[in-house]
Amino acid sequence: MLSGDRLFIEAIRKSQSVLLEAMSPSRLERAWREGFSRIRTELDISRRESAARELRSPTKRIAVIVPVGYRGGSLRGAKLLSYALHCGSVQCGEAAEITLLHLDEDDVYADDDFADLHPDVKRRTFRWKTLDWAEARRAMRYAGHTQWEPSHDGYVVVDDGIKQLLDFDLWLVISDRLRHPLLPMRPVIHMVYDYIQRYVPFMEEAEVRGLSAVARSARQVWVTTDFTKKDAIQYAGVHRDKVIKLPMLAPDFGGDAAISESDTPASWFIWTTNSAPHKNHFNALRALRIYYEELDGKLECCIVGVNSKRIFSHPPDELKKTIAAIKGSAKMRRMLIWRGELSDFEYRKALCSAAFLWHAGQIDNGTFSVVEAASVGVPALSSDYPAMREIDGQFSLSLAWMDPFDARSMAVALKDMESQHVVRRSRLPGREVLNAQSVERLAGYYWKTLREVV
């Protein structure tokens, strides 16, 4: 057969035709008719249930989807957003059910990671499933979208083991970090915090194009700064009418000031970071060397954040010489405290005891760690870039500034904060000012914006 002996092949076909009888159309017609009948019946039932649910209950069901294994501030932001939607619906007198969905990966999440999730916000796990264009078209037809045609080669759907989120009215995705657009069986909104890839080239061009396509395919894109709004329009190509700027949500640590260890003068400052390339580790570590070895810095540096210990234990190539110099310096080893990822309670305890917080990132959508610090009476020294200026203005933080591209000026700013942090505490916003920017006060903006879509 492999050599193409046609006589031999034909002899096999004639002598073994009985094997094909099991697949003959006449024999399978009944099974196919019964199968398609069941499909039609189940589709009719599903559509009637959906219609009945909409008529029976005015409750809006909103899925807040965390698409990758976000932790730290990103996960906290997703929980805050879920809570804001819940609060906003209550304030507007509209019934809503908010569910936070995260990846079903035990090595990423534990139940304790969601201990602070508001009790009225539900939680569900899921896995991603990818469909090609033909599968996507068929799925949309089954869901009743008879006029929809695919415009991308692939789409992703949420496999939650229940109804692929068809029991929700709207899907709100935290970030645009998807391999393909979400199959739009429901209205989709993306909450995009930044476009770091525009300023720090760490992605392949194909991935960048894919993320832009994801954002453009959404019904709306939410941002929290004018800086990111401009990037969404100019860089990602999202139509300006789709991009909605909302006020930044920040957690309130004010009620936890009592966990401060003592009233003794602070002996450290906190550097919040992670292993992402835009966190400016090269200049920050050079600044610390200058601060300790040339400027005789007196305060220890407590380094915290997701995967931050890897900066020291497994430095990337561009940091290896700097980390080697730190390991070779007795003073640097003594003054740098690598604590890594902390629980919320441990972080708040360390923050309350700090002289100040140091935000040394190069560029992003800003960080609400400076707001957390202000809420417990701790000033902050921050890199000076547009998003941080916006946060400073919204929360009236009176931040101290430094140039993140100049290690020496960063070191000098650290030395200045060493002596000025007590004075700077008096410039922090009071409780009334911070309360005006609380999640509860801002929740209505989020809910009213969402209700324009669903």
Cα dihedral: 142, 147, 153, 154 (round 10): -40
Residue-level pLDDT at 1: 78
- On average, the pLDDT of the chain sits at 89
Q: Among 49-58, 168-177, 253-262, 328-337, whose mean pLDDT is lowest?
A: 253-262
For residue 371 the two structure tokens come to: 């707001």
Residue found by looking up tokens 């290896």 in the block: 320
Q: Is residue 404 over pLDDT 90?
A: yes
- Residue 60 CA: distances (Å) to CA of 22, 45, 49, 100, 325: 50, 21, 15, 14, 57
What average pLDDT does range 288-298 have in this prediction? Answer: 95
Residue-level pLDDT at 389: 95
Q: How far apart are CA 271 and CA 361, in angstroms?
A: 10
CA atoms within 13 A on the CB side of 68: 8
Q: Tell me which of 58 and 260 has the higher pLDDT.
A: 58
> How many other CB atoms sit within 10 Å of the CB of residue 234?
12
> How many other CB atoms sit within 10 Å of the CB of residue 58?
9
Q: Is residue 325 over pLDDT 70?
A: yes
Fold of 254-435: Rossmann fold (3.40.50)
Q: What pLDDT band is residue 8 in, cutting at 50, 70 and 90?
A: confident
Q: Is residue 263 over pLDDT 60?
A: no
Which 3 state secondary structure label does DSSP give 246? Answer: coil
What average pLDDT does range 387-411 have in this prediction? Answer: 95
Evaluate whether 249 touches 84 at the Cβ level (below 8 Å).
Answer: yes
Q: What pLDDT band is residue 44 in, cutting at 50, 70 and 90?
A: confident
Q: What percent of the chain has pLDDT over 70?
A: 95
Sheet holding 336-340, edge to edge: 336-340, 300-304, 268-272, 357-359, 380-383, 400-402
Q: How far apart are CA 429 and CA 395, in angstroms?
A: 8
Please indicate whether the domains covering 56-250+442-451 and 254-435 agree at the CATH topology level.
Answer: yes
**Side chain identity at 211, as an amino acid letter?**
L
Residue-level pLDDT at 105: 87
What average pLDDT does range 220-237 have in this prediction? Answer: 94
Residue-level pLDDT at 380: 97
Sequence length of the chain is: 454
Q: Is residue 258 over pLDDT 70?
A: no
Q: Name the packing angle between helices 386-395 and 226-234 (round to 10°).
A: 140
> Can you give the residue ranges of every domain in the chain?
56-250+442-451, 254-435
Q: Tell me which of 270 and 54 has the higher pLDDT.
A: 270
Q: Is residue 261 over pLDDT 50?
A: no
Residue-level pLDDT at 55: 56
Q: Is residue 265 over pLDDT 70?
A: no
For residue 391 the two structure tokens come to: 């946060």
What average pLDDT does range 397-419 have in this prediction? Answer: 96
- Helix locations, 336-430, DSSP H: 344-352, 369-375, 386-395, 407-425
Which 3 state secondary structure label does DSSP give 175? Answer: coil
Evaluate whether 193 touches 228 at the Cβ level (below 8 Å).
Answer: yes
Residue-level pLDDT at 15: 80
Residue-level pLDDT at 121: 96
Distance spanning both ends of the chain, measured CA to CA: 62
What average pLDDT does range 79-90 have in this prediction? Answer: 96
- The sign of the torsion formed by the CA atoms of 121, 122, 128, 129 equals negative
Cα dihedral: 78, 84, 90, 92 (round 10): -130
What average pLDDT does range 359-384 have in this prediction? Answer: 91
Residue-level pLDDT at 259: 44
| pLDDT per position as a tens digit, 183-225 | 999 999 999 988 888 887 777 888 888 889 999 999 999 999 9
Q: Is residue 47 over pLDDT 80?
A: no
What average pLDDT does range 346-354 have in this prediction? Answer: 92
Q: How far apart are CA 267 and CA 302, in angstroms?
A: 10
Cα angle value 274/350/262 (rounded, 5°): 165
Q: Among 185-194, 205-214, 235-244, 302-311, whose mean pLDDT is lowest?
A: 205-214
Which CATH entry fits the domain spanning 56-250+442-451: 3.40.50.10860, 3.40.50.2000, 3.40.190.80, 3.30.420.10? Answer: 3.40.50.2000
